[in-house]
A and B are shown apart, each in its own frame.
Chain A
Amino acid sequence: MQVFARQGDLIIQHTTIEATEKLTPGADILLAGGSSGHPHTLQGACKYKRNNDGSTLLRLDATRTLEHGRADGHKSVMMPPGDYEIRQLRVRMGGGDSNVED
């Protein structure tokens, strides 16, 4: 199984976003880590939709950089134009599955 990228707890996977999905234009959107002060931020413009399970659908018309907002944090990931699904790693807590909390 081949997956595009991982940046820390974030999995970045190529996908095809259905035409029925309503994407919102945005810029410099936060993908995770906002509460810890170590944000994973997609620099520049994109279209996106946040899903109820915590994942995000993303459409890029140009190459963008996913940055980790910490001086000694994860290295940046260059993302070419295309459709992506971004989600956090999974953990097992209390007998159920949930996203990694950071």
Chain B
Amino acid sequence: MVQKLTSTQTELTPEQEALCDEVVREYIDDLPVARPVDLTKVKVWLDIVYAMYGLETPRIDVVQSPEAACERASSLTGQAQTELDWVGVGDGGWISFYDYFERVKVLTHDENADVQALKDYGRVAWDSILLDECAIVVARPIALKVDEAGNLHSATGPCIEWGDGERDFAWHGTWMPERAITAPRTYTREEYLAITNTEERRALGEIAGWDWIVELLGSTTIDTWCDPNTGLNYELSRCANDGPTLLRKQSPPLKDGSQPWYSEPVHENLLTAQAARKWQATSLSPEECEREPALQFDVES
């Protein structure tokens, strides 16, 4: 039995610390579990939500994927709907927070009742689009894969498979196009350079291999630099055929200790990796950064 958390405590007891980990694991382990929609539990939550707006819960339509929910909402409202309400499984982060405080008796069950209703909803449904005349409820997927940290992830196929055949792909929590996961080395040079999202570019580098990316781009390293204050490495390269100039750089250690590499296009007039690092962080010209490339952060994370 975990001891009650009191207002005089300045640190958690070992048991209370262990319970934090236990609650996190419980929520992450529940993510891949497929369950049919339980309309009784769904209605408990919807009654709470609609009552907040002084409304009765309308008819409930169950659909099998977020795409199907958006299509149904667009059809009912006559307006393009592209987003869910983001209420359901995605709230696990903060629901688990309140759940923990009930377990250490800071909150009573009654005080936490609405949050528990949302937790129960998320166990039997994915999310919703709530309209005045219709509550569109998305069923949980039939398959879902995560990495050890709980990020959506599959290195070989979809990370989510929905009941109507829709599929989603992700690499350690970064949404990816299907081809980046299933056939990463079919990307052309132009397709790679057209990627604007730095996390997607980084993930594709990890999936296809950075050496393969270098070969694809025909890039040549023109300068490298290691920051003596942080030990972080930087590499400036020029792509063949008047292609872009890229700064490949090492992340500071993340919370799990990993240090992923990122590759970002920088100004073509830059000549050194150190100056390119400064150019990214300031509004100075390439020439100004080359003249005085020193830049130090008090904190770099």
Contact = CB atoms under 8 A, between A and B. Distances in A.
Interface of A: 1-9, 11, 36-38, 69-78, 89-93, 97, 100-102
Contacts of B265: 91-93
B258 A101 contact: no
B59 interface: no
B205 to A, nearest CB: 14
B280 A5 contact: no
A1 B255 contact: no
Contacts, number: 105
A6 B299 contact: yes
Interface in B5-54: none
6 contacts: A6-B252, A38-B173, A74-B251, A91-B280, A93-B265, A100-B280
A90 B245 CA distance: 13
Interface residues of B, number: 41
A67 to B, nearest CB: 11
Given A4-B298, A72-B256, A90 B198 contact: no
B149 A77 contact: no
Interface stretch (B64-72, B179-187, B289-297): B289-297
A37 B173 CA distance: 9
A6 B297 contact: yes
B188 interface: no
Interface in B244-301: 244-245, 251-256, 258, 264-268, 278-283, 292, 294-301
Nearest to A79: B299
Contacts of B294: 1
Contact of B279 (A5, A69, A78, A90): A90
Contacts of A69: 93
Given A69-B93, A100-B280, A101-B198, 9 more contacts: A6-B252, A8-B251, A36-B174, A36-B175, A89-B280, A91-B280, A93-B196, A101-B196, A101-B197
A73 B264 contact: no
Contacts of A38: 173, 199
Nearest to B295: A1
A101 B297 CA distance: 22
B157 interface: no
Contacts of A5: 297-301
Given A1-B295, A93-B196, A101-B197, A75 B266 contact: no
